[in-house]
Amino acid sequence: MARKYRVTLIPGDGVGPEVSAVACRCIEATGVSIEWEVHNAGAEVAERVGTPLPDDVVESIRRNGLALKGPVTTPVGKGFRSVNVALRHALDLFACVRPCKSYRGVRSPYEGIDLVVVRENSEDLYAGIEFQHDTPEAREIIAAIERLQPKKIRRDSGISIKPISVSASRRIVQYAFDYARRYRRRKVTAVHKANIMKHTDGLFLDTARAVAEENGVKVVRHPDGQVTYQGGEVEFDDRIVDNMAMQLVQKPELYDVLVLPNLYGDIVSDLCAGLVGGLGVAPGANIGEKAAVFEATHGSAPKYKGLNKVNPTAVILSGVLMLRHIGETAAADRLENAVAAVIAEGKYVTYDLKADRNDPSAVGTREMGEAIIRAVLGVRC
């Protein structure tokens, strides 16, 4: 008897409900049995209940261990930093996984891109430890810092604190190696700015090297201070983040799985999405030890709400990631192949996937989803 999965569905707001509905139908077309438990979050919910992330949403994900999430809008100026960040912290979703893969038919100057960005989710500058300028707290922090080291800080500075720990760095780098082995990837690259930030990014790099050694990589430290890496079932190397950005533009084929602290991971994942055609084809997953939330990288695009216009690919591919996460590999492959086939044919795709964005033959969100379902089922148009 086939297993039935209970999954929290957060439709989102803006275009979220449209793309989420299409994604659910495409996932169901694979034959995997899913019971959707619907809970709402975002700006529209906040207007009714006073918070964009009601407790029942978090409790549902904690109970089910799985969620598919549409894009949500965080209210502006309401004291709530981000629904996405809040979910990650509440559920300890420490790993943000964003595959960036080329699909034939998507407009891009690059071909054959197949990268995975593994981003640490819990700390770094996104930990939210900030002090507004010209407040007693900011002045106290500035005074304390100046007592502890000689550099002076301008009195009108806002302050953000960047914590990077051994434990979180170890966990995310080990996750990257485990991911590489599970999905038969060849190499993990740690990305950092250790040449400047010795005690934060330097700690991240030192920890990554230690984890690499534990995973069979020989770390060779040369007398001139250079470090090289040899062997390992999964290879390892490291890159300074600004050089990494240039390398990705010049020769992305050299890289495979990238593991990064929080801020760099956010930036580099958008760069990699740009290599494959943009956020419209960029899925994502936020994964912890007890729960996982799958969501598109793009936002809620409220100006397109209700227009049946937005590309649903990123949320559908996030569903593919969810299916793989729960071990439904054959279903995941069928769905991804169906998405690829529809995009490659170029007949039933949204405006952004046409060679000319004003092409009158472009179809809507629902119609593209229906074409993908037909492809999953093997029905010829």
Contact between 232 and 177 (Cβ < 8 Å): no
Residue of 69, 266, 309, 348 with catalytic role: 266
CA-nearest of 356, 354, 332 to 343 is: 354
Residue of 69, 101, 193, 309 with catalytic role: 193
The reply to whether 193 belongs to the active site is yes
Residue of 5, 126, 175, 264 with catalytic role: 126
- Calculate the alpha carbon distances from 45 to 40, 72, 288, 333, 379 in Å: 7, 10, 26, 35, 39
The reply to whether 126 belongs to the active site is yes
The reply to whether 242 belongs to the active site is yes
CA distance 189 to 191: 6
Centroid of chain to Cα 330: 23
Q: Which strand (E) or helix (H) includes residue 268?
A: helix 262-275
Question: Which tokens belong to 184?
Answer: 């038969």
CA distance 188 to 215: 11
Residue of 198, 242, 347, 359 with catalytic role: 242
Contact between 357 and 106 (Cβ < 8 Å): no
What dihedral do alpha carbons 366, 367, 370, 372 form, nearest 10°? -100
CA distance 150 to 184: 49
Catalytic residue IDs: 126, 193, 242, 266
